[in-house]
C-alpha cells in the first residue's frame, strides 16, 4: 500500500522539478569533493621530493604539560638523581629563529646544538645612524641587515616551519634531486588570502580541511656551492646582537606578502648560517681544551643548547598567579598557565625540583654529555603567545624580573629561567624523549655578560 502511494506521489512531481532538486542537493557536495581533491593534489605537489618531514606524527609530548604532577620535583637522593625520575619530556628544534618550532621524538646533538636548530633568521634592512642624519642621499652605503625576533615582530610566532630531510626510504627517492643535494628543505607558511576569486577559492578549500588559506614558500636547507651560484645567493654581513656574522642571503625566496603580514616597513630578508664561519662561543662555555673542540653556535642568541625544567615553568606560573597585577594592567588577565613552549628550549625535562637546573654543571642525557654554561637571562619575548602571537603587556616578564633575578652576573632585575649548554661531543649525540637525565656535577654559576 505504502509503496504504491509513494509511487503515485512520486510520479505527480514534474520531472523537471525532480531533476532540479536532485541537482540542488548534489551540486554542493560534488563541488566540495572536487575542491577537496584539488587541495589534496595541491598539497601533494608541494611536498619536497625525496624528503621526509621531521616531527611528531602524534600529539605533542607537552599536551599534558599542565598536570600538577609535573610541579613537584623529585629531589635526588644522592649526588646523582635517579634516572628513573628525571627524564626528557620534550625536544624541540627551531629551524628559523623566532618562528614556530618543530617538536621531535628524538634529535641529534652536534657542535652547533640540536641539528637543524636556528640555522636561519629573518632580518631587516636598517639605516645606519650616519645615513639618515648626515648623508640622506647615500643611505645605501650605511644600511645594514639586522636580525629580527618576536620582540619586535610578534607575528613571527605564527610563521610555521617544516623541516624536510632527505630520506632514502621515500618513494621515488633520487640521489640527485635538488632537495637531496641541499641537505633538505625548509618550508615556511603564514596565513594569507589572495585577493579576488582565487583567494575565495583557497579559503573554501582550506575550510574543507578546517584550516585557513596560507602562503607557503621554501628555501634549500644547506645549498651546495653550485646551487648557491645558480640561485644567485650571496654571503653578506648580518648583525645578531653584538656580533656581525657572515650569512647566506636567501632573501630572494621571501614573498613580499610576508613583510606586510608581519607589519614591517623596512625591507625583509632571510639569512642562513655560514657553515664556514660559525660564531664561536666563549664567555661561560668550557674551553676548547676541555671539550675537544671550539664550541660554536648557529643563530641561537648565544649558546648552542637550551634546557628547561618543566617544574620551573609551573613554579613561575604559581608565582605569577599569587602576585596581584598592578591596577594599570589589571584589565588583561595574565597568560596562565604558562606553556613551556613560550621559553623555546630545545630540551624540556621533568623530575628535578624547580630551578634545580640552575646548579647543574654537567649532565648526561642518554649517552650524550652536556656541559652547562650559564643560566638563560630572559628578555620580554616569552610574553608573546607561542601559537597566536598575542603579546601580554607584562607577564611573565614582570614576575621573572621580580622573582628570578638570581644571577648577579646577568645583572640587576634580569630574570633567569633555564640554562644554556654545550655538548661534550666526539661527533654526534642522540637525545630521545624518555631518556634519563643524570647530573654528574653540581655547582654554582654566574653569568658573564656580553
Ligand X SMILES: *[C@@H]1O[C@H](CO)[C@@H](O)[C@H](O)[C@H]1NC(C)=O
Q: Which is nearer to ligand X, 98 or 249 (CB)?
A: 249
Taking CB under 6 A as the criterion, the residue among 300, 309, 346, 383 binding ligand X is: 309
Neighbour-count burial of 420, counting CB atoms closer than 10 A to its CB (0-12 exposed, 13-18 middle, 19+ buried) = buried
424 phi/psi in degrees, rounded to 5: -90, 100
Q: Which is nearer to ligand X, 55 or 255 (CB)?
A: 255
Shortest Å distance, C-beta 73 to ligand X: 2
> Going by DSSP bridges, is the β-strand pair 144-147/234-240 parallel, antiparallel, or unpaired?
parallel
Q: Which is nearer to ligand X, 111 or 417 (CB)?
A: 417
Answer yes or no whether residue 357 interacts with ligand X by CB under 6 A: yes
Task: Determine contact, residues 249/235, Cβ cutoff 8 Å.
Answer: yes
Taking CB under 6 A as the criterion, the residue among 190, 221, 343, 355 binding ligand X is: 355
Q: Which of residues 221-260 bind ligand X (CB under 6 A)?
A: 234, 236, 249, 251-252
> Going by DSSP bridges, is the β-strand pair 416-424/368-377 parallel, antiparallel, or unpaired?
antiparallel
Q: Which is nearer to ligand X, 39 or 407 (CB)?
A: 407
Taking CB under 6 A as the criterion, the residue among 189, 311, 317, 445 binding ligand X is: 311
| Site size for ligand X (CB under 6 A) | 21
* DSSP 8-state secondary structure symbol assigned to residue 66: T
Instruction: For residue 187, give the nearest of 162, 212, 214 by alpha carbon.
Output: 162
Residue 187, CA distances (Å) to 56, 92, 94, 227 in order: 16, 17, 12, 17
Distance CA 145, CA 92 (A): 27
Q: Which is nearer to ligand X, 248 or 262 (CB)?
A: 248
Shortest Å distance, C-beta 219 to ligand X: 12
Q: Which three cell numbers stand for residue 361?
A: 654543571
Shortest Å distance, C-beta 109 to ligand X: 18
Instruction: For residue 83, give the nearest of 342, 357, 320, 434 by alpha carbon.
Output: 434
What is the x/- site pattern for ligand X, positions 42-81, by CB under 6 A?
A: -------------------------------x--------
Q: Which of residues 422-441 bind ligand X (CB under 6 A)?
A: none
Taking CB under 6 A as the criterion, the residue among 297, 312, 376, 383 binding ligand X is: 312
Q: Which of residues 150-209 bind ligand X (CB under 6 A)?
A: none
Instruction: For residue 121, give the nearest of 267, 270, 228 by alpha carbon.
Output: 270
Task: Determine contact, residues 271/238, Cβ cutoff 8 Å.
Answer: yes
- Choose the binding region for ligand X from 12-20, 219-227, 349-357, 366-374 (rule: CB under 6 A): 349-357
What are the residues binding ligand X (CB under 6 A)?
73, 86, 145, 234, 236, 249, 251-252, 269, 309, 311-312, 315, 349, 351-357
Amino acid at each position: 500500500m505504502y509503496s504504491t502511494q509513494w509511487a503515485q506521489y512520486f510520479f505527480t512531481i514534474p520531472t523537471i522539478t525532480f531533476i532540479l532538486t536532485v541537482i540542488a542537493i548534489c551540486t554542493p557536495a560534488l563541488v566540495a569533493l572536487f575542491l577537496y581533491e584539488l587541495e589534496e593534489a595541491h598539497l601533494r605537489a608541494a611536498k619536497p621530493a625525496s624528503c621526509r618531514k621531521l616531527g611528531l606524527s602524534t600529539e605533542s609530548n607537552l599536551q599534558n604539560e599542565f598536570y600538577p604532577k609535573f610541579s613537584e620535583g623529585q629531589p635526588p637522593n644522592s649526588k646523582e638523581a635517579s634516572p628513573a625520575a628525571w627524564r626528557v619530556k620534550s625536544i624541540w628544534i627551531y629551524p628559523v629563529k623566532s618562528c614556530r618550532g618543530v617538536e621531535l621524538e628524538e634529535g641529534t646533538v652536534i657542535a652547533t646544538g640540536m641539528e637543524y636548530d636556528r640555522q636561519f633568521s629573518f632580518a631587516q634592512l636598517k639605516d645606519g645612524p650616519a645615513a639618515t642624519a648626515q648623508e640622506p642621499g647615500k643611505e645605501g652605503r650605511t644600511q645594514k641587515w639586522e636580525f629580527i625576533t618576536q620582540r619586535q615582530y610578534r607575528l613571527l610566532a605564527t610563521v610555521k616551519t617544516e623541516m624536510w630531510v632527505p630520506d632514502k626510504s621515500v618513494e621515488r627517492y633520487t640521489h640527485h634531486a635538488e632537495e637531496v643535494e641541499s641537505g633538505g628543505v625548509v618550508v615556511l607558511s603564514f596565513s594569507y588570502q589572495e585577493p579576488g576569486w582565487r583567494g575565495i577559492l583557497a579559503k573554501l578549500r582550506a575550510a574543507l580541511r578546517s584550516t585557513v588559506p596560507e602562503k607557503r614558500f621554501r628555501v634549500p636547507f644547506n645549498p651546495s656551492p653550485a646551487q648557491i651560484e645558480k640561485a644567485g645567493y650571496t654571503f653578506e654581513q648580518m648583525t645578531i646582537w653584538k656580533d656581525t656574522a657572515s650569512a647566506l642571503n636567501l632573501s630572494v625566496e621571501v614573498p613580499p606578502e610576508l613583510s606586510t603580514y608581519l607589519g614591517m616597513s623596512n625591507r625583509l630578508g632571510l639569512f642562513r648560517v655560514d657553515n664556514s664561519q660559525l660564531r664561536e662561543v666563549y664567555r661561560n662555555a668550557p674551553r676548547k681544551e676541555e671539550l675537544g673542540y671550539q664550541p660554536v653556535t648557529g643563530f641561537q642568541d648565544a649558546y648552542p643548547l637550551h634546557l628547561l625544567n618543566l617544574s620551573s615553568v609551573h613554579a613561575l606560573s604559581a608565582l605569577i598567579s599569587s602576585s596581584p597585577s598592578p591596577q594599570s594592567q589589571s584589565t588583561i588577565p595574565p597568560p596562565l598557565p604558562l606553556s613551556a613552549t613560550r621559553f623555546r628550549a630545545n630540551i624540556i625535562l621533568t623530575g628535578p625540583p624547580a630551578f634545580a637546573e640552575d646548579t647543574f654543571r654537567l649532565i648526561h642525557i642518554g649517552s650524550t654529555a652536556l656541559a652547562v654554561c650559564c643560566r638563560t637571562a630572559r628578555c620580554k619575548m616569552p610574553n608573546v603567545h607561542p601559537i597566536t602571537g598575542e603579546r601580554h603587556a607584562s607577564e611573565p616578564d614582570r614576575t621573572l624580573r621580580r622573582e628570578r633575578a638570581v644571577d648577579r652576573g646577568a645583572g640587576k632585575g634580569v630574570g633567569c629561567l633555564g640554562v644554556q649548554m654545550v655538548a661534550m661531543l666526539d661527533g654526534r649525540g642522540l637525545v630521545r624523549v624518555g631518556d634519563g637525565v643524570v647530573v654528574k656535577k653540581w655547582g654554582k654559576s654566574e653569568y658573564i655578560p656580553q
